[in-house]
Structure 1
Amino acid sequence: MSAALVLALAMILDAVLGEPRWLWSRVPHPAVLMGRLVGQVDRHLNRGSARRARGMLAVIMLAGAAILLGYVLSCFGALVELIVLAILLAHKSLVDHVRAVADALRISLGDGRLAVAMIVGRDTAGMDAPAIARGAIESAAENFSDGVIAPAFWFLIGGLPGLLLYKITNTADSMIGYRNERYAEFGWAAARFDDLLNLIPARLTAAMIALSHRAHDWQAIACDAGLHRSPNAGWPEAAMARALGVALSGPRSYDGQMRDFPYVNATGKTAIGAPEIDAACAALWRTWATALVAIMAAAVVIG
């Protein structure tokens, strides 16, 4: 069975089952286990002097363990590959979490703030409805790249070793890749390696969003992507903004400090709310379907 066919089947399985609560309430999800491993490495290595070198060692150790585990698991055949890949793809769960923000926002502003706080890292206490919607849509676009397209891309490139290498790196970046006093040096290698691994997938995600929604102004998308503080996250966000005709990003607060970030697609609609979040969920499924068709076509061609 080709890698493309395994990936197509895994995408369908994830879309149907998502992350069954009955299972992951009883046993830890592999993403949780990865987080625990990164936490252990952080506790043991993030101290003393030469923090950047220690952080590089941490990334090498985590990457080596992920590649080795991926190789061992791949020896058990395509069925194991299919199951592991379906578990580590996160499309249905992403859509469910984003849609929950729209449902909560329809109830009240307070409920919307609580729901969006589950998927964004910014301050949510003072958010109005448009800010909540922007946060949910930005998270939808960025996490579609990180949680679906990038894992699929690296599986096609390197099988389970490539998939697990990406997932452990992305987990490490989300835990230690911060520019604060504790992690500025130790988390530097994890953040830079995650940037490297997402370089192609982020742009591929933007291209698929744009293609599936006929948002063909690639020059404008590229220009808006350059406004983002991340070298990669701006691409899917800029494409999603154009696909929906909304303005994203803009001012927001972190740790009690308001930051004046520029708007992405500044001429787009700013008075947004639950309907635009629903539209983003539909856009995720439409883009997912575009990716699935492309992968199935590749599976047929490869044979």
Structure 2
Amino acid sequence: MGPTGRCVVTPALVVAALCLDVILGEPRSLWTRVPHPAIIMGRAVGALDTRLNIGEHRKAKGIFAVVLLVLGAGLIGAALQSLGPFVSMICAAIMIAQRSLIDHVRAVAMGLRQSPKAGQQAVAMIVSRDVSASPPSSTARSAIESLSENFSDGVVAPAFWFAVAGLPGIAIYKMVNTADSMIGYLTPRHAAFGWAAARLDDLLNWIPARMTALLIAVSTNALGQWASIRQDAALHRSPNAGWPEAAMAYGLDIALAGPRSYHGTVQDLAWVHPDGRHDLTPGDIDAAILIVWKAWWAGVGVLLGFGVLIWVF
């Protein structure tokens, strides 16, 4: 505890939260009895969407909604953090999703080894695109893209904001990320109201996305291709998602992104690393999972290194 009684977030505490998530994952016995924080956050976003996303001045109302969500998450995070480092570690671990991410993506590889339909059903749990007619190669590509992007959004970014701003930081990040996933779309209903959530999510993910790409590149010996990774990342429709996807594409020498269908409409999106192999298999999913584990360990190593430096100096 610091002199003011607040919990001091050290690199060791961030590592402890990361490890606790890997060990425990998301115990069904707990979350069938009480709502997961992500569910509570989703309900808060949904309630504001229902009450405020009507009539005129929807952009201003969306900004107001995000301010309320950020203040609420920050205050709750600060209150829980005041209970000490053990509570902070548990709460942070709940908001990190390495174990859950790996389990969901591995299920796609297992499904594809059974049948194309089983693979489609598994990948539909983690992506929003149309996959009902997806060939096995496209199913594998979708899983690897989701793994890359969500390693940034669900692991690196929460850990980063926990390290930077403690439990209020990770709580605010998860709230904004949840809001973006629900209302941050360029649809007639949410283009104006969800503008603030989408822009703030882009801002909060700017550093973590590039950190994720660096961790993946280091873990795959693709650091020498950083200029190409940076160039292809800029082709992605998202200012952040392209970074981990590009690093993974060059690390595995495969093509990611490209055309895909949303709500029955095919979008002709650019390929990331178009010269890479296009015919993907469940083995490529396994290889991507291994890379993410290597990147996870690299991140833990960096945190422990910082911890040693802080302790020594």
Shorter-chain TM-score bucket reads over 0.9
Q: Which residues of structure 1 form unaligned runs of 5+?
A: none
Paired residue secondary structure (1:198): helix
Residue 92 of structure 2 corresponds to which residue in structure 1?
85
Residue 181 of structure 2 corresponds to residue 174 of structure 1: yes
Distance 1:108 1:142, change over 3 A: same
Q: Structure 2: how far apart are the matches of 1:76 and 1:148?
A: 24
- TM normalised by structure 2 equals 0.95
Kindly provide the amino acid, as one letter, of the partner of residue 137 in structure 1: I
The offset of 1:88, in angstroms, is 0.6
Distance 2:46 2:193 in 1: 13
Instruction: Tell me if the contact between 1:2 and 1:302 (Cα under 8 Å) persists in the aligned partners.
Output: no
User: Is 1:38 the equivalent of 2:55?
Assistant: no
Q: 1:194-252, CA deviations, whole angstroms, 9 ceiling, x for partnerless residues?
A: 00000111011001100111102111001110110000000000001111111101111
Match of 1:155 in 2: 162
After superposition, residues 1-303 of structure 1 pair within 5 angstroms as 2-216=9-223, 217-303=225-311
- Once the 2 structures are TM-superposed, how far is the Cα of residue 3 of structure 1 from its aligned partner? 2.1
| Residue identity (%) | 52
Mapped to 2, the partners of 1:273 and 1:27 lie a distance apart of: 38
| Partner SS, residue 102 of structure 2 | helix
Aligned length: 303
1:110 CA displacement? 0.6
CA contact (8 A) 2:62 2:195 kept: yes
The question of whether the paired residues in 2 share the 8 Å contact of 1:225 and 1:238 is answered with yes
CA shift, 1:16, in A, is 1.1
**Distance in 1 of aligned mates of 2:134 and 2:149:** 20
In structure 2, stretches of 5+ residues that fail to align are 1-7
What is the Cα deviation at residue 299 of structure 1? 1.6
| Distance in 1 of aligned mates of 2:120 and 2:13 | 38
- For the aligned residue pairs, the C-alpha RMSD in angstroms reads 0.9
User: Are the counterparts in 1 of residues 42 and 179 from structure 2 also a CA contact under 8 Å?
Assistant: yes
Query: For residues 23 and 91 of structure 1, what CA distance do their matches in structure 2 show?
Result: 18
Q: Extract structure 1 runs of 4+ deviating beyond 4 A.
A: none
Q: Per the alignment, in what secondary structure is the counterpart of residue 201 of structure 2?
A: helix
Q: Under a length normalisation based on structure 1, what TM-score does the superposition of the two structures give?
A: 0.98
